[in-house]
Chains A and B, each alone.
Chain A
Amino acid sequence: MSSTYKLLILGAVIVATYFVPSIIEVFAVLNFTVYIIMGMLALSLAFVWGMGGIMVLGQSAFFGLGAYAYAIGALNFGAGWEAVAVSIIVPAIFAALLGYFMFYGRISDIYVGVITLAVTLILFNLINSTSGPQYKIGSARIGGYNGITSIPTLDWPNGSMIDINGMFYLSVGLLIAVYLMVKFYLTTKYGKVTIAIRENEHRAELLGYNVSLNKLITFSIGGAIAGLAGCMFANWGAFVSPTLFSLVQSAQIIIWVIVGGRGTLVGPILGCIAIQWMVTQLGTQQTVNVSFVLGILLTIFVLLVPAGLAPLIAGTIRKAFGRVTKKGSALAKEPNS
């Protein structure tokens, strides 16, 4: 795909973002902000699973850790960039330790899934049982089921408060930045090895690459991105609770990736935004249960559209418009790029 078109699309997204808050209502901006933040969470799994081939069933562990790390950091040393750093570093280190435990133990496939799932449930249970006043980190009560409320939120570097629109711009900006960084990483030597491992782990190993180390790095980067998403989420609601670690949350991330398209980065982000939007629409009526629709959607996609929407849409566009759009569509990411 030509870089001119990519830049054009990026520019269009930025311009559109600028005008969104002036068109829609305030609470719709709030909702869209959370879709974007969840989009970053979807991106983290799209990277780890879609690019690295590591099936993580408990990606919400890092999301929750990031959110809690930000909350505890902000309560201890203020809502500054230190708290943001903590929210990225803590999940990344946790992912590195867990990754070391798994990948250097030659654990793969389904067993990685089981362990990550168990880990997120462990965190859920542990944090859920810390309501007592004795559970404190610095001056921050962990709060158990209550969660942590009234979390100090970030200001702009010049000291002015980030309002609702500002939060929206910040989320979109960060999502684009992280997306570009991941894209860049995939063009580096390490990134290419990551793809190679997904395609054929055994062959990559025989060619002399350090598969365990590379997986560990992939897994940690994914943890860091999920942590940043968690940090933004804590800022969005000024509230975190143990449900961030729940199985339901993990299931949602997987649905976004499956529906958007495993093997692409943009797909899961768009899948996430689309599904979140749909969930909001469904939520306004009482007849059809949201979980019912999501479940059917997941099953149908696995059965009938296993590659997800992104390649499907890209293919359709290519057929319809021939060469021109083949070069230009943002959705036409080659699945293996």
Chain B
Amino acid sequence: MTISRRTLLGSAAAAAALFQAPRAFAAGDPIVISSIYDLSGGLDVYGKPVGDMMEFAVAEQNAKGGLLGREIILKSYDAQSNNQLYAQYAKQTALSDKPAAVFAGITSSSREVVRPIFKKTNTLYFYTTQYEGGVCDRNHFSTGVTPAQTVQKLVNHSVKTAGKKVYIVAADYNYGQITSDWVKKFTLDNGGEVLDVEFFPLDVTDFGSSISKIQAANPDFVYSALVGGAHMSFYRQWKAAGMLGKIPLSSTTFAGGNEHIALPPEEYNGHLVCQNYLQELPSERNQQFVAAFHKKFGEDYPYITELSMGAYQAFLLWAAAVEQAGTIDRMPVIEALETGISVDAPSGKVTVDPATHHTIVDVHVAEARDRKLNLIEKFEQQPPADTAAVCDLIKNPDDNQQYVIEL
């Protein structure tokens, strides 16, 4: 744990946009929003693209004249893959920046660190990463996909194409634990069987013995909920042990951290994923978006990840709600979001589900091959059914907990 503070005060992007095209904002003080993501450390594979996306979203909005005629200023904090720093920055930003909204957290553990702090300080909070589902809190909006939206589709697809016996490898924290329970549930729903589940702390890099164990168990497919830079070694060692192509692998985390860009294609070709967003989506809205993004960050930008799209969609929803409410005050904005507001996003239509504060989105099963995610099957407008089964913020607006799956 360090008590160091890495603050990127102000947003270079907003400043640059202003500099290029001097623009008078119609009225009022700037609107401050904050972001806290892992821009360095083991989770930066996820955090950095999200950081870039926040910059892009704010610059894009400011280029359109800001919000309510006011400029938006982004205060960005780097939590350095350290939950202790999430606690510190969350307090700091809530107390000293007093932002209109905060976009924060890569891992579910970091979300559970900051969520109570924002609840206590009445700071509107967006969690934008795909996660295990179940968070029920009126101050919180989740724009990432949950297991009923992705894991279910991917398990169904894998059982159909590969077989009924699955071996699960997962990261050892709440995301991995709960997600693997969902994989179990959906496998059983399909009449399948879970041979074994193995959990790995985020700093484990040597998977040799686990790969031997998988071979001994001989599953029809492997389901991976591995997370972070260290766990990328698994895919590399899987290939080095000659397993790639022998046993298929499905994952809802692979490619989320640009694994398919960082690793050479011959180490992963054929892995199956299921995501809300793919950079390759053919829609005109997406093509325009990718072009605009590449204009800002260069054609050689690795890949626009699903996680960063989650942040973009969160920002769009917040901006739409602010426009609709005509203010940045927390309660009116929450109420505007609860009208079931929707935006036309690059991934398709995105709608807030008023009862759960999650989103209704399109999801896509795809195959990772040669640095691309090739679409296999599309599922339109999937509701967050897992969370909806347990959480109803219309009936119980004071609910504040994370429901977990009971097997």
Q: Which residues of A contact B (CB under 8 A)?
A: 25-27, 30-31, 34-35, 38, 125, 128-129, 131-133, 143-147, 149-150, 237-239, 241, 243-244, 246, 248-249, 252, 276, 279-280, 282-284, 286, 290
- In the complex where A27-B91, A243-B83 touch, is A279 in contact with B177 (Cβ < 8 A)? no
- In the complex where A26-B95, A133-B177, A144-B173 touch, is A283 in contact with B84 (Cβ < 8 A)? no
B177 to chain A, nearest CB (A): 5
- B161 interface residue, CB < 8 Å from A? no
- Residues 225-245 of B at the A interface (beta carbon under 8 Å): none
Report whether B199 and A286 are in contact in the complex, using a CB–CB cutoff of 8 Å.
no
**29 A-B pairs with C-beta separation under 8 A:** A25-B96, A27-B91, A27-B95, A30-B91, A38-B3, A128-B172, A129-B199, A131-B174, A131-B199, A143-B109, A143-B174, A144-B172, A145-B172, A146-B112, A147-B113, A238-B87, A238-B116, A239-B84, A241-B109, A243-B83, A244-B1, A246-B1, A252-B2, A279-B2, A280-B5, A283-B5, A284-B5, A284-B7, A284-B9
Residues of the B chain whose Cβ atoms lie less than 8 Å from the Cβ of A149: 112-113, 116
Interface size class of B (residues with CB under 8 A): 20 to 34
* Additional A-B contact list (18), CB under 8 Å, known A31-B5, A283-B7, A286-B8: A27-B91, A27-B95, A131-B173, A131-B199, A133-B177, A145-B109, A145-B172, A145-B201, A146-B112, A147-B109, A243-B1, A243-B82, A246-B1, A279-B2, A279-B3, A283-B4, A283-B6, A286-B6
Report whether B173 and A145 are in contact in the complex, using a CB–CB cutoff of 8 Å.
yes
Report whether B4 and A280 are in contact in the complex, using a CB–CB cutoff of 8 Å.
yes
A316 to B231, CA, bound (A): 53
A192 to chain B, nearest CB (A): 36
Query: How does the 8 Å CB contact mask read for B88-117 relative to A, with 1 for contact and 0 for none?
Result: 100110011000000000001100110010
A300 to chain B, nearest CB (A): 20
Report whether A27 and B92 are in contact in the complex, using a CB–CB cutoff of 8 Å.
yes
Report whether A129 and B172 are in contact in the complex, using a CB–CB cutoff of 8 Å.
yes
Report whether B4 and A279 are in contact in the complex, using a CB–CB cutoff of 8 Å.
yes
Report whether A248 and B109 are in contact in the complex, using a CB–CB cutoff of 8 Å.
no
Report whether B113 and A290 are in contact in the complex, using a CB–CB cutoff of 8 Å.
no
Report whether B2 and A131 are in contact in the complex, using a CB–CB cutoff of 8 Å.
no
- B202 interface residue, CB < 8 Å from A? yes
Main secondary structure of the interface of A (DSSP, over half): helix
A133 to B180, CA, bound (A): 13
A231 to chain B, nearest CB (A): 16
A35 to B4, CA, bound (A): 11
Report whether B174 and A146 are in contact in the complex, using a CB–CB cutoff of 8 Å.
yes
**A31, A144, A146: residue with the most chain B Cβ atoms closer than 10 Å:** A146
A26 to B97, CA, bound (A): 11
B7 to chain A, nearest CB (A): 5
A31 to B83, CA, bound (A): 16
In-complex Cβ contact of A248 among B1, B8, B174 (8 A): B1
Residues of the B chain whose Cβ atoms lie less than 8 Å from the Cβ of A237: 84, 87-88, 91
In-complex Cβ contact of B92 among A30, A143, A249 (8 A): A30
Report whether B202 and A145 are in contact in the complex, using a CB–CB cutoff of 8 Å.
yes
Residues of the A chain whose Cβ atoms lie less than 8 Å from the Cβ of B404: 133
**B3, B91, B202: residue with the most chain A Cβ atoms closer than 10 Å:** B3
Report whether A243 and B91 are in contact in the complex, using a CB–CB cutoff of 8 Å.
no
A132 to B175, CA, bound (A): 11
Residues of the A chain whose Cβ atoms lie less than 8 Å from the Cβ of B7: 283-284
Q: Which residues of B contact A (CB under 8 A)?
A: 1-9, 82-84, 87-88, 91-92, 95-96, 108-109, 112-113, 116, 172-174, 176-177, 199, 201-202, 404
Report whether B83 and A239 are in contact in the complex, using a CB–CB cutoff of 8 Å.
yes
A284 to B113, CA, bound (A): 22
> Which partner residue on chain B sits nearest A240 by CB separation?
B84
Residues of the A chain whose Cβ atoms lie less than 8 Å from the Cβ of B173: 131, 144-146
Report whether B6 and A280 are in contact in the complex, using a CB–CB cutoff of 8 Å.
no
B35 to chain A, nearest CB (A): 16
> Which partner residue on chain B sits nearest A145 by CB separation?
B173
A283 to B2, CA, bound (A): 10
- In the complex where A30-B91, A286-B8 touch, is A147 in contact with B83 (Cβ < 8 A)? yes
Nearest 10 CB-CB pairs, A to B?
A283-B5, A146-B109, A283-B4, A145-B173, A243-B1, A27-B92, A237-B87, A27-B96, A290-B4, A279-B4
> Which partner residue on chain A sits nearest B78 by CB separation?
A286
A35 to B201, CA, bound (A): 30
Residues of the A chain whose Cβ atoms lie less than 8 Å from the Cβ of B88: 30, 237
In-complex Cβ contact of A131 among B5, B9, B172 (8 A): B172
A246 to B84, CA, bound (A): 12
In-complex Cβ contact of B177 among A34, A131, A241, A282 (8 A): A131
A134 to B308, CA, bound (A): 34
> Which partner residue on chain B sits nearest A38 by CB separation?
B3
Report whether B174 and A150 are in contact in the complex, using a CB–CB cutoff of 8 Å.
no
A123 to chain B, nearest CB (A): 14
A252 to B176, CA, bound (A): 31
A35 to B88, CA, bound (A): 13
A84 to chain B, nearest CB (A): 20
> Which partner residue on chain A sits nearest B7 by CB separation?
A284
Report whether A132 and B199 are in contact in the complex, using a CB–CB cutoff of 8 Å.
yes
> Which partner residue on chain A sits nearest B96 by CB separation?
A27
Residues of the B chain whose Cβ atoms lie less than 8 Å from the Cβ of A146: 83, 108-109, 112, 173-174
Residues of the B chain whose Cβ atoms lie less than 8 Å from the Cβ of A243: 1, 82-84
Residues of the A chain whose Cβ atoms lie less than 8 Å from the Cβ of B201: 125, 128-129, 144-145
Report whether B4 and A282 are in contact in the complex, using a CB–CB cutoff of 8 Å.
yes
Residues of the B chain whose Cβ atoms lie less than 8 Å from the Cβ of A290: 2, 4
A241 to B84, CA, bound (A): 7
Residues of the B chain whose Cβ atoms lie less than 8 Å from the Cβ of A27: 91-92, 95-96
Residues of the A chain whose Cβ atoms lie less than 8 Å from the Cβ of B176: 131
Residues of the B chain whose Cβ atoms lie less than 8 Å from the Cβ of A125: 201
Residues of the A chain whose Cβ atoms lie less than 8 Å from the Cβ of B2: 248, 252, 279, 290
Report whether B116 and A150 are in contact in the complex, using a CB–CB cutoff of 8 Å.
yes
Residues of the A chain whose Cβ atoms lie less than 8 Å from the Cβ of B177: 131-133
A155 to chain B, nearest CB (A): 15
Residues of the A chain whose Cβ atoms lie less than 8 Å from the Cβ of B1: 241, 243-244, 246, 248-249
**B4, B108, B177, B201: residue with the most chain A Cβ atoms closer than 10 Å:** B4
> Which partner residue on chain B sits nearest A243 by CB separation?
B1
Residues of the B chain whose Cβ atoms lie less than 8 Å from the Cβ of A252: 2
> Which partner residue on chain B sits nearest A278 by CB separation?
B4
B132 to chain A, nearest CB (A): 12
A35 to chain B, nearest CB (A): 8
B134 to chain A, nearest CB (A): 13
Residues of the A chain whose Cβ atoms lie less than 8 Å from the Cβ of B174: 131, 143, 146
Residues of the B chain whose Cβ atoms lie less than 8 Å from the Cβ of A279: 2-5
A146 to chain B, nearest CB (A): 4
